[in-house]
Chain A
């Protein structure tokens, strides 16, 4: 089986090892261009490991991993990463670090330009446009450390967008956000997918954050794929009770899947 030209990520019997331990095994997944995927599962199920392998931060194999139709081992990693907008989870920053929101967004353009090349007027324009799209223009020259958690996360999203990526990967993007900021952030991500046709992968252990635009999900448990396909078919009480190892009821409201613990009340 070869990957189709419109496939962004294809894995076949993929195994990923971290030092001596096997973190992922038997992963078969095909993520198409323009799709919105949620990758969900309990803590430690291998979600982050999977995207770190996709980005070339971890060696993948045995098995196969293709990104943008090319085997991961054939990619120059800097070239691959320039095509993927990535928000790592728990990005710790020093609040006093002398950097503004604008400079963080411009980091994306620094990656695209390469060593010894200066940023251009076009780079600055792209950065400003991304900031405008996310309502960050008034904050552009503020120190990053002075922004709220939600504003910082939007800045990181603008940075990822300024890469003009073909694929956006968000790893637990709402971890440190309050419910209102989390909902606003994910609504924005859903809008970006809808308006731009951007391929999006959101990794989360909190299924309710996945916006209605998230049509497909991959469920991971203990390093194995417990299911991959249409969100409506997989995000059921039975499947998720099995996934998390305790009974939950799923309710769908406004396209989002909410989980309720059946043992409580």
Chain B
């Protein structure tokens, strides 16, 4: 089917809008995650949201509200758990991830057939998104962008070094926990686009690709957003044109973007010398 033909359908326009929003918001939090070296938060939060949504469906509640509540609760737990146990955040996240995955799959196992809605949480169903879903994603993306703009200097300091941020008088704990909550919120609203299992790639790949090209954080945010949008949009178009699973296409597109970035990375070749580009 031609692109022009697809454009007539509301589902395609919604899917494209959702993929753009998902590309921007996921790639923005991806910058936090890549810079702070906590990639596990992507999978931990997506599985927390999945577990919450699955149990909400089982109990007859709104799955989005359930997913959002559990993901935010988990993001609020990770920070204090890491600080108090003095463990690497990835350890806390790994523990939460395995617990949440266990809960999500237990919920799916307990659910009666057919389990289409629950399987959608895993694989995503971007072609079934409504205008309301897209609006919700737009709100979270706007909040993320606004917070990045308003707290840019604090986010940058905490991402660079929490001990140093604390030493100069920045409220590092508050900023760090806010970053974690933003990650949880973003993952939850984007669960429907590519699903909990594959969302991770849309978080990490664009930011990791952007990392290859710049020594400036502001440019990394910008490049990451561009790569995220390009990955998501090209994935959706490929999926629609060739009738392939949308989540898988988005993941493969974002991986291809990262692979290309790595291949031509000026930073990798310079090994960190030269002026900040």
Interface residues of A (CB under 8 A from B): 55, 57, 78-82, 84, 86, 88, 91, 93-100, 103-104, 106-108, 110-113, 115-116, 118-119, 141-143, 145-146, 159, 163
Contacts and interface: CB of A to CB of B under 8 A. Distances in A.
The secondary-structure label for the interface of chain B is helix
A132 B217 CA distance: 24
Contacts of A104: 160
A111 B164 CA distance: 10
24 contacts: A78-B169, A78-B170, A80-B169, A81-B168, A97-B160, A98-B219, A98-B276, A106-B153, A107-B165, A107-B168, A107-B170, A110-B156, A110-B168, A111-B157, A111-B165, A111-B168, A115-B151, A115-B154, A116-B150, A141-B275, A146-B272, A146-B273, A159-B168, A163-B168
Interface in B124-164: 150-151, 153-154, 156-157, 159-161, 163-164
Interface of B: 35, 37, 150-151, 153-154, 156-157, 159-161, 163-171, 211, 214-217, 219-220, 267, 272-276
B141 to A, nearest CB: 20
Given A100-B276, A141-B275, A143-B276, 14 more contacts: A80-B169, A81-B169, A82-B168, A91-B164, A94-B37, A98-B214, A99-B156, A103-B217, A107-B170, A108-B168, A110-B170, A115-B154, A143-B275, A163-B168
A55 B220 contact: no
A96 B272 contact: yes
Contacts of B151: 115-116
Contact of B160 (A82, A93, A146): A93
Given A99-B156, A100-B216, A107-B160, A141 B168 contact: no
A97 B169 contact: no
A145 B154 contact: no
Counting chain A CB atoms within 10 Å of each CB, the highest count among B167, B220, B267, B272 belongs to B167
Contact of A81 (B35, B150, B157, B166): B166
A120 to B, nearest CB: 12
A78 B216 CA distance: 27
Contacts of B267: 96
B163 A88 contact: yes
A172 to B, nearest CB: 14
